[in-house]
A and B are shown apart, each in its own frame.
Chain A
Amino acid sequence: MIEELREKVKKLLAGGDVELVIGWEKGSQPLSSTPVFIDSPEEADRLVFDSTCGNNPAVYSTKDARRLVKAGKKVGVVVKGCDARSLSLYVAEKQVKRDNIVIIGVPCRGVLDSDKVEELAGGREVLEYSEQDGKITVRGKDLDLTFDAKDVLSASCLACIYPDAKEYDIFIGEARDGKPNKEQNAAIDEFEKLSSEERWKRMEEIYSKCIRCYACRNVCPSCYCNECFVDQNDPQWIGKTPEITDTMIFHIIRNLHVAGRCVECGACERACPMGLDLLLLNRKAAREVEERFGYVTGIDSGEKPAMADFREDEKQNFIMG
């Protein structure tokens, strides 16, 4: 698979079809891959793709780096299913011209939650990592463990519906169609069974761990505002300390800003250095958007994003009669 990807990328670059390809290369840590920018065919052999490729490379097409949009050059992006949805969203939101990107889909089996791997390793440092046929092996000093990839997948992947790109130019292998996933709403259904008080308590538990480093926001493909509302200081809307209400307002408002735009890639949760459960709210908002407006983010780049659209005869049962 990886050889095919490298060959395709080499051809694209050599033929001048793209100026740059964004993908992943092996990271310096055993459980990490890191985004890489390939601009010549010789470099293409650096590309990798496995369950450690947790970043959403679409981010680099709108973030400060702006290597992609620079001078409107044509750029290739190697994408998992969720990353492809981000690109479709960008096209729908007119952040990227469809003609300027070449979407290269790769078959995704889900990505790791390194916290889960570390938990299984029981405190022993993972020095080597390999995967084959849905099995993952980690090695280190006094450590040689093999387990099912399913046991350590990111929460977003366990609930994934579209593992492979829906809109793409090239696909390595055969793209699978989206399929229903009964895990998708499991966490929110479970949460909704709790009383209002218990829910609030859980939320406080989750967000009291936040250190306000904004890693979640900065790796989020849907968070591309030039200036985030938390960075505004005239007026300053929310306090900057990790005080619980300020922290929660940051997360809730960020969540509303990405409602109907979140592709549930889970990059935020994997980026969080404090291990916050960030997907719960995201998933809830996505379900509300889908149920009320019949909109799923990033599936059709021709469709108007839900929160920028309306219908006159919409359900309004939440409004006082």
Chain B
Amino acid sequence: MVRLEKGKFDDFIRSLAEDYIVYAAVTTGGKSSFKVVASAGEIDEGRLLTDRSPKEIFFPHSEVLFEYDEDGIRETEKAGKPIAVWGLRGCDVKSLAMLDKVFGTARQMPDNEMFEDPYWKRKYDNSLIFGLACNEPRSSCFCNWLGGGPHSEDASDIFVIDAGDVFLMQPVSDKGKAFIGKMTDAAGASAQDEKRAAGASVAKASGADEKKAAELASGARAMMAEPPDLDGLDERLKGIFHEDIWEEMSAKCVNCGACAFVCSTCHCFDVQDEGKGGKGKRIRIWDSCMFPIFTREASGHNPRPLSRDRFKQRVMHKYSYFVDNYGESLCTGCGRCVIVCPVGVDIREVIKRVLSFEGKGAR
């Protein structure tokens, strides 16, 4: 573990920005999201969660896949530098790791070819993720329901703890270890390379620092309520697929896409061609299973015609189908959907209701 004095945080970000495109939480017009920053002053450190999900760093709301004109097809250019993300909370780090399972893992195509998503991979694979511990989780947080925790290091390259006037950094992945290693080396070799040294003003963390980190971690964990046992939730959901309980749970849902669009793991997309005359572009955009048009077929038939069906799909995909496909729930408990839902649908209450349901089909 190394320590970075907050007084040197700006130097750190500036030097990071030399090698990376640095994303961090920025607030404009009262709403926060991950944006490219060049200095520490632009970063909003007061926020626990950004209003917009950080998935858009690697999987933007709309992304041009290629452009075409009379001369042929042109792929969009790759960014020159790799991406570094500062200050992702444990839930969001985990979300990206989940999305990597969807986009980053090669999967078999019909003609025995393996396919992986190049647009995701070229950004995510070389990225450097700085996870940031939550010392004060919100009441809407429920990461501990899903195997996460406020001080979870999982999937971070470097795990950062805000310990008052210092950031304590724990390298987690090989990439993270290499980065921290380089920084400590640079600190030693400061005489030769002044600029590097300024950004790399880290020192080895003391025993007191480690103790502080452990205290913060246990304090944060204590702030979160005891989670229910979600064991067997996926099977239970399948068991009640045809029950009336969905009618009751979805009654107030108005089927907007707010939950899906702020969700850090929802990744359904639509592909649109926008062109005029001989040229145009193919764009990938976010879509949501909450919209009636999402499943409408060319014939006009819609297999999920009712609000209830679409609501059910979202819950099933998160807590059942994704478990079948990838072995874990497609939810990290960030609680963004709980915060934004305009009619106060709380996914935690839905889960609890499913767990307590005792009608036909339940365990």
Contact = CB atoms under 8 A, between A and B. Distances in A.
Find out whether A and B make contact in their complex, taking CB atoms under 8 A apart as touching.
Answer: yes
B47 A239 contact: no
B285 interface: yes
Q: With a 10 A CB-CB cut-off, give which of B251, B261, B344, B348 has the most chain A CB atoms.
A: B344
B110 interface: no
Contacts of A109: none
A37 interface: yes
Interface string B248-292: 001111111110111000000010101000000001010010011
A30 interface: yes
Contacts of A119: 30
Contacts of A67: 251
B39 interface: no
Contacts of A213: 256-258, 260-262, 288
A41 interface: no
Contacts of B253: 65
B138 interface: yes
B204 to A, nearest CB: 33
A65 B307 contact: yes
A183 B131 CA distance: 47
B342 A274 contact: no
Contacts of A239: 272, 274
Q: With a 10 A CB-CB cut-off, give which of B250, B252, B270, B306 has the most chain A CB atoms.
A: B252
Contact of A241 (B140, B260, B272): B272
A274 B31 contact: yes
B62 interface: yes
Given A214-B257, A273-B51, A273-B261, A32 B344 contact: yes
Nearest to B285: A241
B291 A28 contact: no
Main secondary structure of the interface of B (DSSP, over half): loop
B99 to A, nearest CB: 18
Q: With a 10 A CB-CB cut-off, give which of A67, A119, A213 has the most chain B CB atoms.
A: A213
Q: With a 10 A CB-CB cut-off, give which of B52, B140, B251, B343 has the most chain A CB atoms.
A: B343
B285 A233 contact: no
Contacts of B136: 125, 141
B251 A37 contact: yes
Interface string A216-258: 0111000000010001010000011111000000000000000
A27 B345 CA distance: 8
Interface string B113-154: 000000000000000000000001011100000000000000
B215 interface: no
Q: With a 10 A CB-CB cut-off, give which of B51, B256, B283, B293 has the most chain A CB atoms.
A: B256
Nearest to B257: A213
A60 B250 CA distance: 12
A34 B253 CA distance: 10
A127 to B, nearest CB: 6
Interface of A: 27-30, 32-37, 55, 59-60, 63-65, 67, 115, 119, 123, 125, 127, 141, 205, 209, 211-215, 217-219, 227, 231, 233, 239-243, 267, 270-271, 273-275
Query: Which 7 pairs, one residue from A and one from B, show the smallest C-beta to C-beta distance?
Result: A34-B344, A271-B342, A64-B307, A241-B62, A218-B256, A215-B256, A27-B344
18 contacts: A27-B344, A27-B346, A28-B344, A29-B139, A29-B140, A30-B139, A34-B345, A64-B306, A64-B307, A65-B250, A65-B307, A213-B258, A218-B255, A219-B254, A219-B256, A219-B343, A242-B62, A273-B258
